[in-house]
Chain A
């Protein structure tokens, strides 16, 4: 039968979504379920003097009202990563309570929760709760937060500094920078963006007092990690008594990785009131409480010699972590950002000094790309400016400094200045292919012609590399991770030869049910329909670390491969017995074990049945055909690519129109090109959103002033062009599928490509930078202020 790997197989999960039969958390209704409404702080920083819940409690249909004072013996939700200070001092890790008792520290902080028999009553009763706040000074900006005299977010965290961090060789960088013929300096903000998965978060806690078991239904990208954190670090309940289910999840983009207060709170409430309880986030709440992304304030310097060779990169960054440490927060600006500052370039000396600050804002954590967009934006923006300053074509400057090709098998991986060793790469190839698709030469002529007509066309480039497939447990452990980052898989061959696959990865749009089934069906030589992929239920799947960091196929898929191999090996033993042949003389192909060079053969289904009906069976072999595996990667994977954007700027209004968008990505081997392209499209759109449209705006009082879709600009269909995507294939040398990951690539690359294109369009105006998002007014103003 034809190979399924590399084919654009239509998704098996689609039917339920296109017919309205998807099952998302908020679709679940349990008998006797009640509804929670969380009262949230309207202030960024305030002392809670008192809360009067009596009127609400007295209302018909109100089951309970809880405040922070009711929750005793629980510290709060933890972070999963520890990054200590440069001098070795322990990271500051103030508690993040399920409901605050004393002070609110960001707009949206949990103040009280009302439980009622309907969501209408819960909402009505919430209006009857009276909270007496004493408003305090707040700080929303990371640089201002660490300045002397800034209001403290946590009384015991001096200067609001959670930790500081450095990476690279400072002395060498200073020395090389001193030798530079030209230094390009860029100061910028990589603004805060709000994830806005279209499905708001939702959690249902269901405690059964008879069995003493808890079930949490939640919109999570990693139910097992949520269970681990919630049981062991928050509520102190035994893990074997807890089931966590993440059914269909309507997009995550990182924001549903984290263990949120509301999840533990619903379990706690359910146990207290003895009924299932649901909390479903309104979009307004989502704006204030889903962990945000990015928010770096950076000063970067790139030193070059007279030929345009990069000599040194020196960076100072303030990362805003918000009011509390979210689950992955400490690792995002550090090990997912600083370590990627080599980019695709041979820069021989790199140093970053980073300060991570608490502010009176929503916690900041991983958001599509997580650290890598920040690194790529920094590099690609400063390189673009350097090219302009030294008068070199931006593609030539990049090409001149690219790391030469290496396959990671015959040539070793590339050791960067910032800790990582790249697995395999052919970086010039993606750049060449993209330039070719785009017709760069032709563009420059069109640009000239357009200029003569008074039109502003621009082209912007971006290359990127990312570290995906997170990650070797020992490595991340040494870097402060409090968990391993392997993945588990179980491949259960049913007696009839049908196959159930249980994966610890979680699909919330990525199409695992198809991609994983393609692998299994292909390897076993069976039909795609004969494979079912199960995920998102801690009861069904032994363990899992979930989906983020473009890890599912590289890590989760590799775990599946291990179990597939075990099945085939065991099958060979049974087949050898049945065929009366030597195991070494068998080969497995096209769904059958065959004695090499003969037509003696036995099919997959027969072996499966034999394994479960072991009447005529090899001695010493256990019945059954069911294998679990854990796969711990030996390295990250390193997808890379080159993206080119063409824009037109309206001279009169400053509005940017994207004319073309070309992307060439290398994500290693591809199992389903249709799905990979789709991941790229979505990623590109997300990055364009950051470049042109999106950005949280906090005022000086810490008020989020654009916390709704009426004020926060989401990319819409008419903001975007169709995308031209293609790829090169440089297999990953260290995982069995040779895959690298595709979920974040587009986002990482597109933001700087767009900004660079706008600056190229405005090259006659002498503009060094425009703050993101590049709103029409900002672009117009830059033109006014330019020459």
Chain B
């Protein structure tokens, strides 16, 4: 019943036997203990579970772990490099782009993909890009500011 998969998660090769129905988010959280990726809904809307799969933002609740076989997955735990926060991480703090923190990892991962596609997005483009990520705390105001700040730092 187990299917053998090999996934590069945050730069580390992980081999696991998984059930076909295991969602990527449960693989990350339960199998690998990477609990920074969250589950906020069961209809693939809220985006709290967003991770990067081969560099692209993906809702890990809407992908099977077996589909990630051979892929590179980056989670919030892999964003900082050599102890240096990624500019999106530091800008979320700087601009007060988070309150309870639950949506934050997903927001950051989506924003990373946005900035990869568009290094200098307008406010409207940022708001449109966050269509698949819900936040109940911030009213998005400071999330938009944080992403603008990160965009400046990354260019």
User: Direct A–B touching in the complex (beta carbon < 8 Å)?
Assistant: yes
Interface, chain A (partner B; CB < 8 A)? 10-11, 13-24, 26-27, 29, 120, 196-200, 248-251, 253, 282-284, 508-511, 674-675, 677-678, 681-686, 708-710, 714-718, 720, 722-723, 746
Q: Is the CB of A508 within 8 A of B100?
A: yes
Q: Is the CB of B43 within 8 A of A283?
A: yes
Measured between beta carbons, the chain A residues less than 8 angstroms from B94 are 10
Measured between beta carbons, the chain A residues less than 8 angstroms from B101 are 13-14, 16-18, 22, 248, 250, 509
Interface, chain B (partner A; CB < 8 A)? 19, 21, 29-30, 34-43, 45-46, 48, 75-77, 79-80, 85, 89-90, 92-94, 96, 98-105, 108, 123-124, 126-128, 130-131, 133-144
Tell me the complex Cα distance, A18–B85, Å. Answer: 9
Chain A residue with the shortest CB-CB distance to B99: A509
Tell me the complex Cα distance, A196–B133, Å. Answer: 13
Tell me the complex Cα distance, A297–B123, Å. Answer: 39
Tell me the complex Cα distance, A20–B102, Å. Answer: 9
Chain A to chain B contacts (Cβ below 8 Å), 15 pairs = A10-B96, A17-B98, A17-B101, A18-B104, A22-B101, A24-B38, A26-B39, A29-B30, A197-B100, A249-B100, A251-B100, A283-B46, A681-B140, A715-B140, A717-B126
Tell me the complex Cα distance, A27–B37, Å. Answer: 10
Measured between beta carbons, the chain A residues less than 8 angstroms from B89 are 18-19
Q: A18-B89, A251-B136, A685-B139 are in contact. Are A675 and B96 (CB under 8 A)?
A: yes
Q: A199-B102, A200-B39, A716-B130 are in contact. Are A681 and B138 (CB under 8 A)?
A: yes
Residue among B80, B93, B100 with most chain A CB within 10 A: B100
Q: A20-B77, A717-B140 are in contact. Are A11 and B96 (CB under 8 A)?
A: yes
Tell me the complex Cα distance, A27–B30, Å. Answer: 9
Q: Is the CB of B123 within 8 A of A722?
A: yes
**Lowest 9 A-B CB distances belong to which pairs?**
A20-B36, A250-B102, A17-B101, A685-B139, A509-B100, A509-B99, A20-B76, A709-B45, A681-B139
Measured between beta carbons, the chain A residues less than 8 angstroms from B76 are 18-20
Nearest chain B CB to A680 CB, angstrom units? 8
- Given A15-B93, A709-B46: 15 more A-B contacts, CB < 8 Å: A10-B94, A19-B36, A20-B35, A21-B77, A26-B39, A253-B136, A283-B40, A509-B137, A681-B141, A682-B136, A686-B136, A710-B43, A714-B46, A717-B144, A723-B139
Q: A18-B93, A19-B79, A198-B48 are in contact. Are A678 and B138 (CB under 8 A)?
A: yes
Tell me the complex Cα distance, A120–B30, Å. Answer: 12
Tell me the complex Cα distance, A709–B39, Å. Answer: 13
Other-chain contact of B102, A16, A18, A251, A283 (Cβ < 8 Å): A251
Residue among B30, B89, B93, B139 with most chain A CB within 10 A: B139
Tell me the complex Cα distance, A284–B44, Å. Answer: 12
Tell me the complex Cα distance, A678–B79, Å. Answer: 25
Measured between beta carbons, the chain B residues less than 8 angstroms from A678 are 96, 99, 137-138, 141-142
Q: Is the CB of A120 within 8 A of B21?
A: yes
Q: Is the CB of A716 within 8 A of B134?
A: yes
Tell me the complex Cα distance, A249–B137, Å. Answer: 12
Tell me the complex Cα distance, A758–B142, Å. Answer: 26
Chain B residue with the shortest CB-CB distance to A248: B101
Chain A residue with the shortest CB-CB distance to B40: A198
Measured between beta carbons, the chain A residues less than 8 angstroms from B141 are 678, 681, 685, 720, 722-723
Nearest chain A CB to B17 CB, angstrom units? 14
Chain A residue with the shortest CB-CB distance to B21: A120
Q: A198-B46, A200-B39 are in contact. Are A20 and B96 (CB under 8 A)?
A: no
Q: Is the CB of B38 within 8 A of A199?
A: yes
Q: Is the CB of A283 within 8 A of B42?
A: yes
Nearest chain B CB to A415 CB, angstrom units? 35
Measured between beta carbons, the chain A residues less than 8 angstroms from B80 are 19
Tell me the complex Cα distance, A22–B101, Å. Answer: 8
Chain A residue with the shortest CB-CB distance to B41: A283
Residue among B30, B93, B123 with most chain A CB within 10 A: B93
Q: A18-B89, A509-B101 are in contact. Are A682 and B138 (CB under 8 A)?
A: yes
Tell me the complex Cα distance, A29–B33, Å. Answer: 9
Nearest chain B CB to A746 CB, angstrom units? 8
Nearest chain B CB to A33 CB, angstrom units? 11
